[in-house]
Structures are given as C-alpha cells and as structure tokens.
Amino acid sequence: MGKLLKKSAANDFFRSLQKKGSLYAPVSTDMVRFQHIKTPEALRSIDFDGHAFFPPKKYLLPNEEELFTIKQGKLQDTNQSLPPQFVVNVRLCDLNAIAILDKLYLDPDYPDPYYKAKRDATTFIGINCKREIDEYCFCGSMDLQRAYDLLLDDRGEHYYIDVRSDKGMALVKELPDAPEQQDPTLPKTSKVLDQKDLHQFFADKWWEGDNELCVSCQRCTALCPTCFCFDVKDDMDLNLQDGKRLRTIDSCHSADFTTVAGDHTFRSSRLQRYRHRVMHKLQYYKDTFERSMCTGCGRCIRYCHSKIDFVKTINEDFK
C-alpha cells in the first residue's frame, strides 16, 4: 500500500508527528546527526540527503542507562512505559540494523524489558537513498530487507510513502492513496562485498595486515548500527543502602570486555579482537540467523583512523 506526500507538505506531516510525541531527525551542522526537533520552526533544519555520523541505535541503546535503583536497601519500581517518539529520515541500512537488534533484544523467550520499552515507544520512518552516499557504502551486497513501517521515496514533486505495517498506516491514513503500489527500488552500490565462507579464513595470517593498522580505538564499534556489546555495573553509595545498576555500551575491541573472573582474557591479542568483530558481523550471526549482521552502511571503514577496509581485504586477499 502506498501514500503520496507532496514535498511542500512534508513539514505538515512531521508537525503532525510532533503533536503525537518527540520527533528526532538528521540535521546537518558540523556533521549530519540525529537531533531532537523541538519546535515547528526547527522542522526547516531537517536533512533529507546526508548519512548520519552516529546511527539511530542510540534511541534504543543509549551509551548509559539506569536499569534500576535501590533506596534504603529496597528495589525501586522502574516505570517501563515511555512516551512515543518518532525517528524520521532513517536510511535503509540503519532500518535493517534496527531489525537485527530487534531479533536479539526481542527474543520471544528472553525479551530485554529495557530495550522493549523503548522499542514499543519508538517508530522509525525511513527515507530511501536516491544515490549511494559515497564510495564506502556497500549495502547493495547485504541483502537488505523492507524492514520498516514507512519509507519515503523521492518521486520528484512528491514522496511516495511505502507503507508496510498497520502502525505505519495509522500515521499516514489522512494522506491520499497512491494510484497503485510502486515498490521503491532499493539502493545499489558500486562497492561490493564478495560473499565468502569466512570459516576458511580464520587463521591469523589472513588478518595480520589489517591488524597492523588497528589501534583498538573502538570507533568502529561505537559507530556501527548493529554493535551492542555492553557492560553492567553497580554504582553504590558508601552507606551500601542506596545505589543504582547501570548498563553502558562497551566494545569487543577492548581487552577488558573479554576478561572474566579469575583475570582470564578470552581474546588477549588485538588481532583476535579485530578478527572477532568482523567474523561476528559477517559469519557468526549469519550461521544462526541466516543473514549478515552487517548492513553495509560503511561507517566502520569511512571513519576508521587507519581506513581499514575489511571489504577490500576479504575481496582481494582472502583467496
């Protein structure tokens, strides 16, 4: 089912979302980043072309979140009902990343209540890429799905809105119907990742070149839309009666992350940690869920200090 939105009326649509909840959208300042669009005037600053530096996972997995508090030795109830929020102009790579996080955090047997509360309150509205953003994108190789409620597709004077859920339809029911279903063409990219069975390339020798350049800065994992490693720590007052439990974003590139009780470190070398990140993205997740955990957004290559490019390494060196 499709709807039509005149470009000149796009702000009216976003204004209607502002009336229902908090609105977040990419804004171009020193970089493109998702920001809270608080006022009707701020709608003018919404960016329709750029690729956000930070992925929108922060609306579901903040850098630090309080899981619960303890007061006078008693566990306090945490209110898990959150007000609605809308995150708009999200690229298809990042929408697929949300679907991947959903798979992990909303497992029917073990849903994560903190993630679920945010996910239930959040609607992500996509925008289709008119062109590949730059030479780092390789989403065309990553079998991206139409994993969205709504996706805006540029058709000149208007946006065709591809509606894929009842939740999405409820937001656009007032807009005119498109005369016929016109599925948006999903992005193609000139950068291509050769699909290979990476189990055959586990030996250290395949990873030594990239490892020479990696400094374990963790930038790639912070910016990856599907990286979700976390740490849990208790922050107690000296009276030992009051405190809180926090979940903070961590990284598999950190040696501390793989250190367990008894001071045993599972991946003590930088090479082991670098290899684990790439293997998890491209192979281990696929072994279980039959799709890659990487959506080809290109951030981990685009913003790596050393411009380490695992796509190039896999394509050219893994033979």
Tokens at 87, concatenated: 């995150």
Run of H or E including 113 = helix 113-121
CB of 243 to ligand SF4, least distance (A): 32
Starting from the edge strand earliest in sequence, which strands make up the sheet with 230-236, in order?
74-75, 64-71, 243-249, 230-236
Residue 202 is which amino acid? F
Position 61 contacts ligand SF4 (CB under 6 A):
no
CB of 309 to ligand SF4, least distance (A): 10
Position 145 contacts ligand SF4 (CB under 6 A):
no
Starting from the edge strand earliest in sequence, which strands make up the sheet with 158-163, in order?
2-6, 158-163, 150-155, 122-127, 85-90, 22-28, 32-36
Considering only 253, 257, 267, 285, the residue that binds ligand SF4 (CB under 6 A) is 253
d(CA 70, CA 90): 37
Nearer to ligand SF4, 22 or 251 (CB): 251
Name residues contacting ligand SF4, limited to 271-310 (CB under 6 A). Answer: 281, 294-300, 304-306, 308
Position 57 contacts ligand SF4 (CB under 6 A):
no
Nearer to ligand SF4, 162 or 309 (CB): 309
Nearer to ligand SF4, 2 or 26 (CB): 26
Considering only 1, 75, 170, 215, the residue that binds ligand SF4 (CB under 6 A) is 215
Burial (CB count within 10 angstroms: exposed 0-12, middle 13-18, buried 19+), residue 21: middle
Position 224 contacts ligand SF4 (CB under 6 A):
yes
Position 217 contacts ligand SF4 (CB under 6 A):
yes
Considering only 26, 168, 187, 225, the residue that binds ligand SF4 (CB under 6 A) is 225
Tokens at 279, concatenated: 């293997």
CB of 276 to ligand SF4, least distance (A): 12
CB of 223 to ligand SF4, least distance (A): 6
Nearer to ligand SF4, 198 or 297 (CB): 297
CB of 266 to ligand SF4, least distance (A): 17
Burial (CB count within 10 angstroms: exposed 0-12, middle 13-18, buried 19+), residue 179: exposed
Nearer to ligand SF4, 22 or 89 (CB): 89
Position 129 contacts ligand SF4 (CB under 6 A):
no
Give the angle 36-114-260 at the CA atoms, nearest 5°: 115
DSSP 240: S
Tokens at 62, concatenated: 């903040």
Nearer to ligand SF4, 152 or 193 (CB): 193
Give the CA distances from residue 281 to residues 96, 140, 199, 220, in Å, rounded to whole numbers and listed in that order.
Answer: 13, 16, 13, 12
Nearer to ligand SF4, 51 or 118 (CB): 51
Position 211 contacts ligand SF4 (CB under 6 A):
no
d(CA 105, CA 228): 10
Contacting positions for ligand SF4 (CB under 6 A)? 214-220, 223-226, 253, 281, 294-300, 304-306, 308
